Amino acid sequence: MGKNSKSKKRTKTPPRPHTGALDVVLSVVAILLLTGVRTIAGPCSHADGSVAACATAGRVLTGLGFVAVGLAVVRLFGADKATKRSFDLLLAVVGVLVAVLPGTALALCAEASMQCRTLMLPYARVAGVALVLMALLCEFTCDHEEPTGRKRRR
């Protein structure tokens, strides 16, 4: 047997890490967003029972939290790869909305010492940024396939 008869072995690239842990962490971040806005970082409450100016911001953040949890859970339990990719981008958009809307498009109370300014606003910013980072991390580390069956080039 000569040199030409040897077949060249192709070296396979190592597989990308399994993203199951990232999916779980993304779901946990979404759940923490929802539970935090509903409990410790919620809108202000007045002793006389009147509605605070930040109540709308609390309702919007709660709604965005439910959307984030729904997308993350569906992504975790049974979406195909193309749907996971779409959900990653949607979760990043929800995270941007959570971080940007309170205090800019949604009114908060006027006093700087109110709960919405001291707890809800920083919590929403941190949770929104964490959601964006986790969604983009899942997007760029997942081993997505194109609809034709070929792997996507990076």
pLDDT, tens digit (0-9, with 9 covering 90-100), for 113-134: 888 899 999 999 999 999 999 9
Give the pLDDT score at 9: 62
Residue range 75-81: mean pLDDT, rounded: 79
**Which of 9-42 are b and which e, b meaning 16 or more Cβ less than 10 Å from the residue's Cβ?**
eeeeeeeeeebeebbebbbebbebbbebbeeebb
Structural contact between residues 61 and 37, judged by C-beta atoms closer than 8 angstroms: yes
pLDDT, tens digit (0-9, with 9 covering 90-100), for 11-34: 665 544 445 788 889 999 999 999
Give the pLDDT score at 17: 40
pLDDT at 108 over 70: yes
The residues spanned by each domain of the chain are: 54-143
User: Taking the CA atoms of the chain, what radius of gyration do you get in angstroms?
Assistant: 22
